[in-house]
Structure 1
Amino acid sequence: MSFADLGLSDELLKAIGESGYTEPTAIQAAAIPPVLMNRDLVGIAQTGTGKTASFVLPMIDILAQGRSRAMMPRSLILEPTRELAAQVAENFEKYGKYHKLSMALLIGGTSMGDQQKALAKGVDVLIATPGRLMDLFARGKILLSGCSILVIDEADRMLDMGFIPDIEQICSKLPATRQTLLFSATMPPVIKKLADKFLSNPKQVEVARAASTNTLIEQALVETSSRGKRDTLRKLLKAEDVRTAIIFSNRKTTVRDLADSLRKDGFKASQIHGDMEQSERIRELDRFKAGEINILVASDVAARGLDIKGVSHVFNFDVPWHPDDYVHRIGRTGRAGMSGKAFTLVTPEDAEAIENIEKLTSFKIPRVSGGGEAKASPAPEPETAVEEPKRGRGRRAKPRAEAPREIEPAPVAPAPVEREERPARAPREPQAERPRAPAREPRRENREPRDSEVADDGGWNGPMPSFLAFGFNTTKN
């Protein structure tokens, strides 16, 4: 099947051909025809399958007819991150160069004034993150009543980031008679409920089992230790034919430290994480795409949706906390029909996380040696078996060397005897304290009338003199 068989326009086919594509992917072949027929659609596809083009291409032809109005975008595409939104904008520019469509990008980290000017002129395509869109809507700078197409991309990622309430609020402000397209790598119950609520009789397209991994990606678990992870990573980077690689870590601090360490070792490495300004992140991504650097150390902010051609390797410096993130991370390689390799550095502490990943993907990931450090990697498992004999030997050796120490506790035995003798003296102590008992009792009885001060002055235990009682009552009043 070719793109021409999908019913796309000649102008669009020309732009697709100039981009180097000849045949549609499975998700594109299944999704484009129903979208062109104005049907609602739920697309479930693993990352790296060409999902973005499956809604960008038909939208270009649909929006070719019509005219935009000020502050009222004709279509809306919601993306969970700035990087994904920018990537979709690049797709519209690439495939829509022979169409006169206006576009605006609403993302954080950029000038809101420029975005408002673009909206004031009127746009055919509005690509936005939920936060910035809700901000401008609250300011009265945008109207959604003229939006005829809504795309909710990376819906499961939206769920992870807590955007579902915002999406529901946005959907309530759109016209009821619209076309809605929802794309997700997985379909958890919350997303299913969202689709049932806001989509009308959608066509469901699923090109791969949810959470399955790309069969073109060669996966491996590299056993190492926590202290030896960096050495193991360096050996892999040198041993493998790494053209371009993305290294993922769970923590932003690790991303920074690892990128600095690799640069000191002579690697052309850079970093991208959530603490960086948007302009910095875009700059580093452009450097990576241009080949100025060939190793990008990233947090999960870059795990989903980034379409970077020719990534030969993915390294998980840390095993991801969530199994789904593993699928999205390694999906940065093996894209568009190309093969790739994904290595995950694992320590004995990662056993449960790996088990969850293999359970999710129904795939037993092969284990490989991590080189010099990998020899030490089996050590943690035998250590538990070796430690017991060592402890046994230690216990046998210690009684010989520390025989006098075992005798030392013997003096402790008389200690209880001495403590037992102390209770014998105890009766004397109560005898000394017995005279004090009556003194305490009057104090408790006299706390209410606050006569304790009088009792303390002279230790008087007899009846209170009348003049003192009078004086006390006067003070109290």
Structure 2
Amino acid sequence: MTFADLGLSDELLSAVTAAGYTEPTPIQASAIPSVLMMRDLIGIAQTGTGKTAAFVLPMIDVLAHGRSRARMPRSLILEPTRELAAQVAENFEKYGKNHKLSVALLIGGVQMGDQVKALEKGVDVLIATPGRLMDLFGRGKILLTGCNLLVIDEADRMLDMGFIPDIEEICTKLPAQRQTLLFSATMPPPIKKLADRFLSNPKTIEVSRPASTNLSITQWLVPTSGQKKRATLERLLRAEDVTTAIIFSNRKTTVRELNKSLQRDGFRSGEIHGDMEQPQRLAELDRFKSGEINILVASDVAARGLDIKGVSHVFNYDAPWHPDDYVHRIGRTGRGGATGVAFTLMTPDDAENIENIEKLTGTRIPRWEGGAEAEVEAAPAPASAEPREKAPRKGRGKRRDETPAPVASEDAPAAPRRERRPEQAERPARAERAPVPAPSSSFRSDGPDEGWNGPIPDFLSYKLGA
């Protein structure tokens, strides 16, 4: 099947061909004809399946005829984060170059005055995050009565971020007779309830089992301990044929410390997290694109939305707290028909998180027996009286803190100390043999990184080596 078989206009087909695409993905092949026929739609698809183009392409043709009016957008796309919103806007720019559609972003982190001016001119496509949209609606700067097409994207992520009440309120302000498209990687009960309430006789398209992982990604669990995680990671980085890699951590402080440690040991690494200013993020991503660095240490701010092509490996330095984040993290590799490898370091504290991931995906992740952890176990622990200068490599001895003393990492003395729980302080030296409960939410002192604040990013679709 080709895009020409889906009923798209010649102008749109020309733009798709110019972008280098000839055959639609399964979600595109199933969704595009239904959208063109003005049907409501539920699309269940994992990340990296071409879901965005599945609604952007038919929307361009649907909106090709008609006029926009001031403060009354003709269509609305709701995204959970500004990064995803900006990526959708780039898709409209790429595929709609032969059409004269006006597109506006309504997201936080940019001047509200500029967004109001764009709305006053009239827009065909409004791409918004729920919070900023509700803000401007409350100020009387936008009317939704002329919006006849609604897209709710990443609905499961909306649920995680607490946006469902906002979405329900937004839906009540739209015309009752409209076309609604809902896309989600999973279909938990609250999302099913939302669809039942606001979609009319929708067609359901499921291109893969909910929360399934990409079959082109080889997954491994690597058993280790908290004291040996950095050494295990570095051995994997050296043993694997790593072209480009993203390393995920749950905490921003760990991202900073880990990047410093990798740089000291000779790796070409950089970092990206929500505390960084916009110019810093752009600079790091430009370095990653150009090949100046080939390892990017990231918090979950990069797990969704960033489409970085050519990533050969993903390493979960920390097992994610939310199991669906695992699917999105490892989805940064194995994209566009390529293959990829994903390693997850597993300490005894991660047992419950790993169990939840395997329960969600319906698969048992194989345990790594490639020798990396075996080498770490076989390496003799430094004698307490031995000077650190006798370590095999500069910096190596500083990470081999295998004694049970509850000290913070010596790699980054200026970084904040991670508070230890009482039960950890009493743990014997080989405590990794006895699983302990997963950390509670109160233990997450640094907290997850849900996104960043800043101007509209323009770096969200990179092809390495381009």
Q: TM-score range by the shorter chain?
A: 0.7 to 0.9
Question: Hey, what's the Cα distance between the residues in 2 that align with 1:22 and 1:192?
Answer: 34
1:242 partnered with 2:257: no
8 Å Cα contact 2:84/2:305 also seen in 1: yes
Aligned CA RMSD, in angstroms, stands at 2.3
State the match for 2:24 in structure 1: 24
CA contact (8 A) 1:220 1:366 kept: yes
Per-residue CA distance 1:282-338 (angstroms, 9 max, x = gap): 554454344443222221222123222111111100011122111111111111211
Residue 55 (str. 1) matches residue 55 (str. 2): yes
Q: Are the structure 2 counterparts of residues 273 and 13 from structure 1 closer, same or farther at C-alpha, using a change threshold of 3 Å? A: same
- Structure 1 counterpart of 2:168, one-letter code: E
Q: Percent identity?
A: 77
Q: Which residue of 2 aligns with 1:347?
A: 347
**Shift in Å, 1:93:** 0.8
Q: Report the secondary structure of 1:126's partner residue.
A: strand
Is 1:2 the counterpart of 2:13 in the alignment? no
Cα distance between partner residues in 1 of 2:137 and 2:302: 27
- Closer, same or farther: CA 144–282 of 1 in aligned 2, 3 Å: farther
1:359 aligns with 359
Amino acid in structure 2 at the alignment position of 1:227: Q
Contact 2:348 2:433 in 1 (8 A): no
State whether structure 2 residue 84 is matched by structure 1 residue 84.
yes
User: Per-residue deviation at 1:370?
Assistant: 6.7
Contact 2:236 2:372 in 1 (8 A): no
Partner in structure 1 of residue 144 of structure 2: 144
SS of residue paired to 1:308: strand
Equivalent residue for 1:392?
A: none
The 1:280/1:174 distance shift into structure 2, 3 A limit, reads: farther
Q: Residue in 1 aligned with 2:194? A: 194
- RCO comparison, higher one (Cα < 8 Å, 6+): 2
Once residues 86 and 386 of structure 1 are traced to their aligned partners in structure 2, the CA distance between those partners, rounded to angstroms, is: 46
Q: Describe the superposition over 1:165-210 as per-residue Cα deviations: whole angstroms up to 9, x where unpaired.
A: 1111111111111111000000000000000111111110001000
Alignment of 1:279-290 (within 5 A): 280-290=280-290
**Partner of 2:226 in structure 1?**
226
* CA distances 1:77-115 after superposition (whole Å, capped 9, x unpaired): 111111111111111111111111111111111222221
Cα separation, 2, equivalents of 1:228 and 1:41: 48
User: Which residue is 1:100 aligned to?
Assistant: 100
Query: Cα offset for 1:349?
Result: 2.2
The structure with the largest helix share of the pair is 1
TM-score (ref. length: structure 2): 0.78
Residue type at the aligned position of 2:174: L
SS in 2 for 1:350: helix
Of the structure 1 ranges 256-265 and 18-27, higher mean CA displacement relative to structure 2 is found in 256-265
How far residue 222 of structure 1 moved from its aligned partner, in angstroms, is 1.5
Equivalence map 1:5-404=2 (5 Å): 5-278=5-278, 280-369=280-369, 371=371, 373-375=373-375, 383=430
Kept in 1: contact 2:220–2:366 (CA 8 A): yes
Cα distance, 1:196–1:279 mapped onto 2, change above 3 Å: farther
User: Residue deviations 1:207-249, cap 9 Å, x none?
Assistant: 1000111110011112222122112222222222222211111
Q: Distance in 2 between matches of 1:282 and 1:221?
A: 32
User: Which amino acid in 2 is paired with 1:234?
Assistant: E
In structure 2, the CA distance between the partners of 1:271 and 1:384, relative to structure 1 (3 Å rule), is closer
Alignment match, 1:431: none
- Residues 303 and 332, structure 1, Cα contact 8 Å, conserved in 2: yes
Deviations, residues 417-471 of structure 1 (Å, cap 9, x unaligned): xxxxxxxxxxxxxxxxxxxxxxxxxxxxxxxxxxxxxxxxxxxxxxxxxxxxxxx
CA separation of 1:382 and 1:292: change in aligned 2, threshold 3 A: closer
